[in-house]
Chain A
Amino acid sequence: MNLISSHLHYICALLLFLFGLYALIVMNNLIRKIFGLVILQTAVILFYISLAAKGNAGIPIVSAHGHGAINPDLFANPLPHALMLTAIVVAASTLGVALVLVISVYQDHQSLEEDQILERLRAE
């Protein structure tokens, strides 16, 4: 019980990751696949942010005279947050490219169901 409550965010990240992967593999609609991809990427972001969190820790802003006497236990780790800022940008651009591609697929085939599109391509 203790393990679950202390690792709740990790378990959530894992469940979200698996859920996204499942949606990506099983769903037939391209937009739903993209939802799956976004959920999967968000799960990784949640995982990183969970690494940075500590009990009773504040925001990592150190005053100018704080040299030499910084207790790291009092501050949340800022590095994963900075990394995830970049990862969010990457995820957003992936989403943008994916949506543009979906638009072009829809214009070409008038459908978003993957099996229909593949069937039409095979028929040609």
Chain B
Amino acid sequence: MIASSLLWIFLCPFLAAITLPIFAQIHKKSIFLVSLASLLASLSFACNAILALRNQHHLRYVMGGWSSPMGIEWYLDAFSGCLIVLVLVVSFSVLLAHARNELMRLPFLMTALLHISGILGILLTRDLFNLFVFIEISSLTAYALIATGSSKKAGISSLRYLFIGSVGASFYLLGVGYLYSVTGTLNMDDTALRLQALSPDRSTILGMIFISTGLFMKMGLFPFHAWMPDSYQNASHPASSLLAPLMTKVCIYAFARIHFWIFLPSITYAFHINGILRIVGLGAILFAAYTAFRESKLKRLYAYSSIGHIGLICVALSLGTKAGLVAAILHMIHHALMKTGLFLASSTETIQSLQDRVVSLNQLRKQHSWILHGMSLLLLSLIGIPPLCGFFSKWFIATAAMQSGNSILMILVVASGLLTALYAFRILEQYFVEPTGEALPIIAESPYLKVVFFFITILVITMGAVSPFLYKWIYQTIPWALA
């Protein structure tokens, strides 16, 4: 009974997406409320399923009664559960915040809901091929959402994302084909079991390399990051604040799910992937700090910062330990919340009237100073200042590095916080610069955006207090395949 709520988590936004044209016929204004209601309904099913995790460590839903190797399974544990709640909270807040935006009509809402249901499918499925289909659903809708940008660059940046993303998906599909040719199954548990029974040969290793490469391209890991800054900058504001926190995170989830539950337990060669991940992740942190420091546009700066934090999450994953994985999960959650807040701040009318420039932010000292206060709080959290949530996840990553006896890596993680501070202070220093030139015209901000922005900043503060308990809960309940 409780297992069928896994299905409803996905079905609520999906059914809403396909019935939205009917609601539009009945009443034009109702579609926005229907979309929000579907996300809330999905959230309640997700909470219902997570509450059931107290008794068992995972939930399974078997489609149509066809059990595991033959049929398709959906699966929920602490890892996917946390991310599902995160996805729903973030997407609900982003849609609500842009309630007054003129884009909030039928095409945008349908695409956004399909995007969200694709993401929920990635988080829930236990089937390697279904994962590919859901990745493509969420990516195709992401390309469409980016193209809603009003700038002339939106189309070309979306197209370049499409090229890189589709190559990534093809690599992933090719890798799944290699694994399928060895194991004859697509179920993740079954694949792991059968690979453990076999001695890994060349096609298994090649499949692993192709799957990892494909997902690295999708998540925007350092050498494959080129699509990210352009897409985030040129997308419309609702689209960029919806995509930036979520899309890359779920692709990291997909990688972590396959890496930790299929590759690491069954293929000894998979430990080499950890080494590559660590080097690439550290490279991403350095590269992101350098480019973000030189960047003059706010949304591009955030995009480079995202590249760096994806690198940090990959460094945490590369430890290959349970502590590292849980620290990475927490950093994914915290970083998504902080990025939502930052992108919401940059979609305010005031910052748009400043043309997204970092150096003009000091104009905010006189009017709408709440934007500057909130942004500073989020940036301090991004750096990792103690009472805020960003501190805790970096702390957990550093302790995980220490526990696995890698003290140099621990120092590098702490140093990454300092590198973040390097570019964050370019925004923070605007507090102390006297605004010159004529004052800004007074612009009324949408009250929805204000409320949601306030809610996200409160969430960033409270997650700091909650995160030690969350860490403990995930650590204890996550089903762990490795010794």
Q: Give the interface of A toward B (CB within 8 A).
A: 17, 21, 24, 30, 33, 37, 40-41, 43-44, 47-48, 51, 80, 83, 86-87, 90, 93-94, 97-98, 100-102, 104-105, 108-109, 114, 117-118, 121, 124
Contacts and interface: CB of A to CB of B under 8 A. Distances in A.
Given A48-B177, A93-B140, A101 B167 contact: no
Contacts of B155: 101, 104-105, 108
Contact of A121 (B152, B166, B174): B152
A121 to B, nearest CB: 6
Nearest to A102: B159
B131 interface: no
B454 interface: no
B166 A117 contact: no
Contacts of A43: 170
A98 B159 contact: yes
Give the interface residue-count category, chain B: 20 to 34
A72 B384 CA distance: 59
A93 B170 CA distance: 14
B163 interface: yes
B144 A97 contact: yes
Contacts of B140: 93-94, 97
A67 to B, nearest CB: 15
Contacts of A41: 166, 170
B162 interface: yes
B173 interface: yes
Contacts of A44: 170, 173-174, 177
A98 B177 contact: no
Given A41-B170, A44-B174, A118-B156, 15 more contacts: A21-B167, A24-B167, A40-B170, A44-B177, A90-B169, A97-B144, A98-B162, A101-B143, A101-B147, A101-B158, A105-B155, A105-B156, A108-B152, A109-B156, A114-B156
A118 B40 CA distance: 42
Contacts of B169: 90
Nearest to B173: A44
A124 B163 CA distance: 25
A80 B169 CA distance: 17
18 contacts: A30-B159, A37-B163, A37-B167, A43-B170, A44-B173, A48-B177, A51-B181, A80-B177, A80-B180, A83-B129, A87-B173, A90-B133, A93-B140, A97-B140, A104-B147, A105-B159, A117-B156, A124-B152
A86 B174 contact: no
A102 B170 CA distance: 21
A90 B167 contact: no
Contact of A51 (B136, B156, B173, B180): B180
Contacts of A87: 132, 173
